[in-house]
Structure 1
Amino acid sequence: MADRDPAPLTDHALLLAPGDDVAVALRELAPGLELRHGDDRLTVTATVPQGHKVALRGLPPGARVLKYGQTIGRTTTAVRPGDHVHTHNLAMESVDHAYEFGTARVRIAPAGDLRTFAGYVRANGSVGTRNYVGIVTSVNCAASTARMIADQFRGPALAAFPGVDGVVALTHDSGCGLVPASDGGRLLRRTLHGYAAHPNIGAILVLGLGCEMIGVDSVAGGERPADTLVEQLVIQEQGGIRATVRAGVAAVQGLLARVAQRRRQTVPASALVLGLNCGGSDGYSGITANPALGRTSDLLVAQGATTVLAETPEIFGAEHLLTRRAVSEEVGRRLLERIEWWHRYVRAGGGTLDNNPSPGNKAGGLTTILEKSLGAVAKGGTAELTAVYEYAERVTAAGLTFMDTPGYDPVSVTGLVAGGATVVCFTTGRGSVLGTKPVPCIKIATNTTMYERMRDDMDLNAGGIADGTATIEDVGDEILRAVLDVASGRPTVSEELDLGRDEFVPWQLGAVT
């Protein structure tokens, strides 16, 4: 009896670029499975979990391993065809790129069909996708009081104000014990000012204790749209928590009555600012959801909108791909300056940038930060990079931009929102329960298995790209439709679950005394 022919590699794994040394398993590959790759045959030598890498050829110790056509690390032992390639035989490769600037710029042609959404037009020309009243605290000491006030306006209490999306308490863990003029003090103020001026917030109540380093006046004094309504309260001056809660409830009721009068208007998609983020990434992130979101980014850039890539530690090792797309050497070098800042920052903390990926990322098939970053930059599509911003800095440029943020999801998204993002798209392979008030967050699953398991927490599934039932173009177009619908008021899963009250997490830098 003749031996059965090996199955084609493409039935069981994805080859991402010609010449790659590894392919990504579409499902768990069992030992003994025989595969055909071109003229070569290989036998799987050990269990390869879904989303993990299988070797396509033999490699000696110290060999560079290619995925996406790029180096993701070096082998630490000899690798046989069919071996599982992961942390036991693959390690970080030193990064020494020869940087180019503007050599791979792609100018996205303006779209012929201009898209629109229904948003809240603010006095300064910015456009919100939600209509919130925010309680912004100047110091952690006011956090509990702010929550007590906001809790009075949950559920039926807002029924009388149908045009308002909610009252959100934006509390944090800082505001005192640091020098206001220090890096940490400036960063906190910039973040608070960004939220107070956000187009999704129609009114703010600034709440403080009264003796903090960064006081109520400092927070309330930031630049914001002229139609943002502002009230201030100081707990010590009001006579304590109970008195402040009573005064705060009365103040918010007055703000709600006025904010509820605002109405959505039809505006061009060019008014959108889309934050691009990921968390709980896996081996499919750079294959499905991230490149699909990258297509969405390109489609919005074609509309004249702004998209913002972030998470500097998670583009480390792939930054050379972004500098090639920079509109100028100045923009490219600004990105490299942020990378160098991170090298100094993590060294001071006793770490290195290759401490990433996380245990969850590794369980999902990612081995080195190089591999993770190559997948993460796919969220930025193909458009040229027009600007680079520091954390929570106001984003003003159109097109694809970059913001320097940590990779930690709540801190990263807080910076994006402070910079002006009005919708956030968040890709995840392991699963996420993130909310980002006052901005809607669209969560996109990278694989169908997780999507089915966490369906109540996901908005979209990009897993069909790996399953063969959808293309990157299909899913990218679907994400764009979702962005416009959500921007017009359709609630996301996170909003239905009332998530986002605890994910306002400003980045804390510097000494606390």
Structure 2
Amino acid sequence: MELIMKTGAAAVLRLNPLDDVLIARRPLLSGEVLEPQGVVVRQPVPAGHKIASHRVEAGQPLRRYGQIIGFATEVIQAGDHVHVHNLAMGDFARDYAFSHDVKPERTLNDAPVFMGIVRPDGRVATRNYIGILTSVNCSATVARAIADHFRRDINPAALLAYPHVDGIVALTHSAGCAVDPAGEGLALLRRTLAGYATHANFAAVLVIGLGCETNQIEGLLSSQGLSRSNTLRTFSIQDSGGTSKAVASGIVQVKSLLEEANQVKREPVSAKHLLVGLQCGGSDGYSGITANPALGNAVDRLVACGGTAILSETPEIYGAEHLLTRRAVNRAVGEKLVARIHWWEAYCERNGAELNNNPSAGNKVGGLTTILEKSLGAVAKAGSSNLVDVYEYAQQVGAKGLVFMDTPGYDPVSATGQVAGGANLIAFTTGRGSAYGCAPSPSIKLATNTALWNRQREDMDINCGEIAEDTMTIEACGEAIFNLMLRIASGERSMSEQHGYGQNEFVPWQIGAVT
């Protein structure tokens, strides 16, 4: 997908010569003449929205990025605002052309470094937390009470002697019982919990249960090949004698772990040890023009260093998956991606839903009309690197390079799967202003437009909106994002970390019947 970024006039952007629409850089007023196209604006058009560059007949496809984003539901005149009132989804053939665009990967001999934490088994962490996980919702209150005892804003003295421990975080959820013990839902939850229990960013983990839940701790451990150790401890509320005793036991156990956890030191390590989860939330009409392609540029830099990036949110690549299958290193990888698309089609059908229930209301206000348009912008986060593998939700990612993980489009659920798969950093683009963080992996926020940057500066780490204003190139912004990744991985705190985001955003994917 070629992104040319030529400016037809100061007021609009033309992204590709094949496009039927222009993108408003600012609000357009009725009667304005757009030069050099000579297009007269027929209705007011908000910034980030689309305007027709020529007449399109009813039923005909419209293109953005040189790709189909939908079909005209009525005659669209040159200068018309193009949005939900005159553009809709429709079926069309997509050529998967497996591996047609695979190219030699660029490699760097002297990869940049960051200051990472090398664990005894050789894995590299970007943070150093002690984690508290729950087997079931019923133990969430106890887990939170234990973590709260060590909160620096509540009890400043609790961790004063342990400056190398980033914190104690309780990651709770609403599942773990009233599910089929042999079903897909419980298996998925257990895989997710195991990914967190063994995550490099945790120096140690406590797993707390109630005692009578379906997701028995013994079953969790045995099904995931885990064993108790000094750094992976478990107990239940019922065996502890109740809530107060369970909380007291947990506090004692965390205290006994702090001294060893504090012994870590940061040291220079290659950027190849970064495993970055790619997210976009609260997207708008600028997402596919600024922040997403800039993040894609950073991804290409990371892959050249031998690192890994995880593209996800399967419903939000729907309609653009053919751009990824063309970059699959072999047909088998491409077909794995297509199989996940077909799974989602069947999943929506049996649940009486459709994949085009996305974009969200906020996405539409920001200028996105169909899932096709949103997906085409979303895949820009993947840069131009080859697709080397496809993973199911929360599977451990072992490949190096660009990979895909099958997740829902809902950001907390998607990022939870990525972190369970090993992501030690999250890069999150937003146009509407999503407030998000992700413990134990830091999350950086990339604003797609300058208005958002000015309005919500306290939540954003980089302003990519300058790309649309011709004051920064995609290449320069990509370099800035990559350098920020290295700094955040080295211990610099992102804006979401400074606000304390992370514990509440742990949301495992709940799939299957609850009885």
Deviation, 1:443, is: 0.4
Matched residue type, 2:441: V
Deviations 1:49-94 (A, max 9, x none): 0000011001111111011000111111111111100001111121
1:71 aligns with 2:68: yes
The question of 1:183 aligning with 2:189 is answered: no
Q: Could you list the runs of 5+ residues in structure 2 that have no partner in the other structure?
A: 1-6
Change (3 A) 1:228 1:30: farther
What is the aligned counterpart of 2:416 among 401, 404, 414? 414
Tell me, in whole angstroms, the C-alpha distance in 2 between the residues paired with 1:273 and 1:230.
23
- What SS class does the counterpart of residue 295 from structure 1 fall into? helix
Q: Partners in 2 of 1:95 and 1:136 — Cα distance?
A: 45
Q: Evaluate the alpha carbon distance shift between residue 95 and residue 419 of structure 1 in structure 2; reply closer, same or farther with a 3 A threshold.
A: farther
8 A contact 1:106–1:382 mirrored in 2? no
Q: Over residues 287-313 of structure 1, what are the superposed CA-to-partner deviations in whole Å (9 max), with x where a residue is unaligned?
A: 000000000000000000011000000
Instruction: Map 1:277-356 onto structure 2 (within 5 A).
Output: 277-356=279-358
Matched residue SS, 2:435? coil
- The SS at the match of 1:467 is coil
How far off its partner does 1:9 sit?
Answer: 3.5
Report the counterpart of residue 50 of structure 1 in structure 2. Answer: 47
Does the Cα contact within 8 Å between 2:149 and 2:251 map onto a contact in 1? yes
Name the Cα RMSD after superposition. 1.3
TM-score by length of 1: 0.96
Structure 2 residue aligned with 1:118: 115
| 1:29 matched residue in structure 2 | 28
Contact 2:228 2:234 in 1 (8 A): no
Which residue number in structure 2 is paired with residue 402 of structure 1? 404
In structure 2, the partner of 1:5 is: none
Aligned equivalents of 1:492, 1:395: Cα separation in 2: 24
Structure 2 counterpart of 1:90:
87
Name the structure 2 match of 1:493.
495
Indicate if the aligned counterparts of 1:95 and 1:317 stay in contact, CA closer than 8 A: no
- Write the distance in 2 (CA, Å) between the matches of 1:33 and 1:246: 69
User: What CA distance in whole angstroms lies between the structure 2 residues aligned with 1:122 and 1:9?
Assistant: 53
Separation in 1, partners of 2:226, 2:276: 20
Letter in 1 for 2:22: A
Deviation, 1:106, is 2.7
Structure 2 CA distance for aligned equivalents of residues 204 and 218 of structure 1? 17
Once the two structures are superposed, what CA deviation does each residue of 1:169-215 show, in whole Å capped at 9, x if it has no partner?
Answer: 01001111112321101100000000001000110011000011112
CA contact (8 A) 1:122 1:225 kept: no
Return the alpha-carbon distance in structure 2 between the equivalents of residues 507 and 96 of structure 1: 31
Partner of 1:99: 96
Alpha-carbon separation, structure 2, partners of 1:401 and 1:166: 30
Aligned 8 A contact 1:458 1:493 in 2: yes
Aligned partner of 1:81 among 78, 81, 84: 78
Correspondent of 1:237 among 236, 239, 252? 239
Shift of 1:389: 0.1
Partner of 2:133: 136
Q: Secondary structure at the match of 2:182?
A: coil
The aligned counterpart of 1:458 is 460
Secondary structure, in 3 states, of the residue corresponding to 2:513? Answer: coil
Q: Give deviations 1:256-301, integer Å, cap 9, x for gaps.
A: 1211111112110001101111000000000000000000000000
Q: What secondary structure, in the 3-state scheme, does the structure 2 residue paired with 1:473 have?
A: helix
1:202 and 1:227 in contact (8 A); partners too: no
SS at the partner of 2:220?
helix
Q: How many residues of Structure 1 are paired with residues of Structure 2 in the alignment?
A: 504
Q: Distance in 2 between matches of 1:246 and 1:425?
A: 37
Percent identical pairs in the alignment equals: 53
Question: Would you say 1:198 and 2:199 are equivalent positions?
Answer: yes
SS in 2 for 1:158: coil
Secondary structure, in 3 states, of the residue corresponding to 1:9? strand
Structure 1 residues 53 and 265, CA gap change in structure 2 (3 angstroms): same
Instruction: Quickly say closer, same or farther: Cα 1:312–1:158, change in 2 above 3 A.
Output: same
The structural deviation recorded for 1:225 is 11
Task: Provide the residue aligned with 1:508 in structure 2.
Answer: 510
Aligned to 2:4: none
**Deviation, structure 1 residue 227:** 8.7
Cα offsets for 1:377-407 (capped at 9, x unmatched): 0000001000000000000000000000000
Stretch moving more, 171-180 or 452-461: 171-180
What is the one-letter code of the residue matched to 1:378?
A
Work out the CA distance in 1 between the residues paired with 2:92 and 2:135: 41
List runs of 5+ in structure 1 lacking aligned partners: 1-7
Question: Shift in Å at residue 36 of structure 1?
Answer: 2.0
1:265 match:
267
In structure 1, give the amino acid aligned to 2:12.
A
